[in-house]
Amino acid sequence: MKINNQFLLTISGLFIYPIKSLPGISVSSALVTDRGLQYDRRWMLVNEENSFLTLREYPKMTMLKVSIKEEGLRINSLEYPIEDLLIPFGAEESASEKVTIWNATCEALRVGEKADQWFSEILDASCKLVYMPDNSMRPVDTTSGYAPTGKFTSFADAYPFMMLGEASMNDLNSRLKVPASLMRFRPNIVFSGGTPYLEDEINAFSINQINFTGLENCARCKIPNIDPEKGIIGNDKEPLNTLATYRTQNGKINFGRNVVHTGYGIISVGDRLHLIE
């Protein structure tokens, strides 16, 4: 497919996921930092061995609502009558700890005992909340072998951005008996315009003079099968069962595009994506 600017592509959604695996927040504008959108996956829950926890093992994480306030993050449970947790921006003065996410190890700070106790009670598992400070630099180095020089990410699985086209989501929903929310796929950037799966072919684009590079399509695990409204995995194993019938490539179910970037600045809903390659 030849990519050119005959397609009028615009940002139709921006999403930040401050705490890894907890629900995202829809925003109208966001600051692009050295490792993705500001606040995106800068916090993470780890077990006693300092290894990351995810929705894969704890689907009830979807029942914890996150909001960004002036003083920090506020977390409230949609399931249990427990006092909201306020997480001030930054972290307590504490010794740096090494935490593990997939094949990467990086430095993090403990947020504090109050946060640890709150999440441990909610999830019924001993865990700690950690924060990635600015001096902790985690290079993009994925399990599939992509390791672009000088690119960094937060506690995201592998890349600073995941991009998804509305047309792709609409095409998937046309195949499902029950339409799925795009939040099952946890994108950062959603765009309108173009044809279904156009993002597969986008290798380079810019938004507000910030350059982005699409490196590989996003291989999906079972997380999209978790109902974000109920925190349970559906018995029908949808939407992955349907995606597998037409989006399996090299043994992986792909949906969305993993992206790195060069530059800093603000991007907003309504901004145009200028295709380069």
Residue spans per domain, the chain: 9-275
- Each residue of 213-255: pLDDT tens digit? 999 999 999 999 999 888 998 889 999 999 999 999 999 999 9
Q: What is the mean pLDDT of residues 193-215?
A: 97
Given the structure tokens 């090494």, which residue do they identify? 98
Predicted pLDDT at 1: 44
- pLDDT tens-digit readout, 127-160: 999 999 999 999 998 877 788 899 999 999 999 9
Q: For residues 160 and 260, what is the distance between their CA atoms, to the nearest angstrom? A: 6
At residue 128, the pLDDT reads 96
Q: Is the pLDDT of residue 93 over 90?
A: no
- Residue 4 has a pLDDT of 53
H/E/C letters for each residue in the chain?
CCCCCCCCEEEEEEEECCECCCCCEEECEEEEECCEECCCCCEEEECCCCEECCCCCCHHHHHEEEEEECCEEEEEECCCCCCCEEEECCCCCCCCEEEEECCEEEEEEECCHHHHHHHHHHHCCCCEEEECCCCCCEECCCCCCCCCCCCEECCCCCCCEEEEEHHHHHHHHHHCCCCCCHHHHCCCEEEECCCCCHHHHCCEEEECCEEEEEEEEEECCCHHHEECCCCEECCCCCCHHHHHCCCEECCEEEEEEEEEEECCEEEECCCEEEECC
Asked whether the predicted pLDDT for residue 180 surpasses 80, the reply is yes
Residue range 75-94: mean pLDDT, rounded: 86
- pLDDT averaged over the chain? 94
pTM for the predicted model, two decimal places: 0.94
Architecture of 9-275 per CATH?
Answer: Beta Barrel (2.40)
In 3D space, the residue among 233, 234, 238 whose CA is nearest the CA of residue 180 turns out to be 238
Average the pLDDT over 245-266 and give the result.
Answer: 96
Q: What pLDDT score does 5 carry?
A: 55
